[in-house]
Amino acid sequence: MAFDIKGKTLAEFASDIQSGIGAFEVGDFDDLRTIGMAASLAIQLRGLPEIEYSVLAQVSDARFNIPSVALKSVLRTLSEVGMVKLYEAGRTIEKIDPQVPYFEDVFDRIGDYSGEFKLTETEQAMVTIMSELQSRPENRDRLLSKTGMESKLAERCIGIGSETGLVTSHRARGQTVLLSPVYFADNNAGLADLIAKVGGDDFATVMSVLSSHQGWPLSMIVAQQKIAGKPLSKVQVELIGLLASENMLKPPTIEIGTFQETFLFTPRPGAARLSPGKRDIYERAMALLSAVRKGQLLPFKYPIRKPAVVLNALLRDGYLSANTEARKQYGKVAATFNIGSFQETKPGWHEFHLRRTEENVEAVRMAINLAEGGSARVEMREDHEARALLQMDDNYVSSVLGSKKLRERQKITPSFAAREQWEQLTLKLV
């Protein structure tokens, strides 16, 4: 099995795997989880003031699934890449001063540093499987053939994935289809059946073009048989329709005249499972971008040229200049999600004003990322409640976390090969 996933990409997958595994202990993974923990912790520390180690140890264990026994190693990794400054007495860490850069730089730096680690064969295989399942579910036999992975190694990773929730296995139309709930969170069984029917290549094409053009109107895709000038086959267009009907492409709708238009988005970005609050923010971002796409591609009169420019203006100025289409275009966004309100400047002309709450500001930023063909995945991993706890004193944190029952860490059974080697070793000692 050739392994060529390195640098920033490796750091991102390691973070995905760490987020997916959560509180499970997996003896097969060591350096991979250290890399993932370092990336995940850096995201949470960004922008915070100095933190007492005792506070960080409690919060990291309870909220970030970084046990205290691993925390020092993770912090020293972050220290070596220049993202935290450690204040120590001897070898005892007393305080941490976060110096974390912009989100994307986190993965660049940790990705560069990951070359210091030598991943085990199982760690390499898990990263390879996750990379294959990121863009599409995959037939198990085809995945093994494509990657050159041995069946035993694949089964070990699939077993770990099954127990931790990283990978699910479905029988559909006589095939075993693998998918990752980390990337495809809704209707897994239906998605597996669909992939078994149409194959993986068309699905990968559809996901690729949609991820670069989030919020594209379904009616235009069907009528034109293309997205932003990229031609689609008949099967690919039918697949998009099926995915939308199964609610796998998160299609918001906006009323346009006497009919409703559906705007398509890929499954939510992000490794961590979304909390209800984050899901609501992502829903707002999709609704807002859908409204702007409507003005771009299905205008009543005057088309929007660049959606990201409009959204940046809304974020920067707090409002959009008055026009005669504002109420029709943003009416559902304002009424359903309370993102904004309207101010009439003259009869028939309205400005759309942003309600500048923390949630709405984050939703606009997500919408900008999506409009630019990017991803909101990193920002969506922040745990704001946990970040608030990191700025409290030790006693307060102890009382808050002590009032909640912390989940006991579950251990994944060691592989047969590991057990066999241990037994041979112990027999020699008798």
Helices (H) and strands (E) in the chain, counts: 19, 14
Summarised one tens digit per residue, pLDDT across range 294-337 is: 889 888 777 888 899 999 999 999 999 998 888 888 888 887 88
**pLDDT higher than 50, residue 160:** yes
Q: What are phi and psi of 96, to 5 degrees?
A: -125, 130
In tens, the pLDDT along 235-253 reads: 888 888 877 776 666 667 7
At residue 416, does pLDDT exceed 60? Answer: yes
Distance CA 367, CA 308 (A): 8
C-alpha triplet 43, 48, 54: angle, nearest 5° = 90
Q: What is the pLDDT of residue 302?
A: 75
CA distances (Å), origin 120, targets 70, 110, 125: 18, 18, 9
Predicted pLDDT of residue 422: 62
On average, the pLDDT of the chain sits at 82
Question: Between 164 and 256, whose confidence is greater?
Answer: 164
Q: What is the pLDDT of residue 125?
A: 94
What ranges in 225-351 are assigned the alpha helix state H? Answer: 234-245, 276-297, 307-317, 326-337
Q: Above 50 in pLDDT, residue 276?
A: no
For residue 406, the model assigns a pLDDT of: 45
Mean predicted confidence (pLDDT) in 126-153: 89
Position 358 confidence tier, pLDDT thresholds 50, 70, 90: confident
Q: What is the C-alpha separation between 191 and 207, in angstroms, rounded?
A: 13
The pLDDT of residue 101 is above 90: no
7-119+411-416 has which fold? Arc Repressor Mutant, subunit A (1.10.10)
pLDDT at 309: 93
Q: Is the pLDDT of residue 86 over 90?
A: yes
Structure confidence at residue 289 as a pLDDT band (50, 70, 90)? very high
Domain residue extents for the chain: 7-119+411-416, 134-152+163-248, 276-371
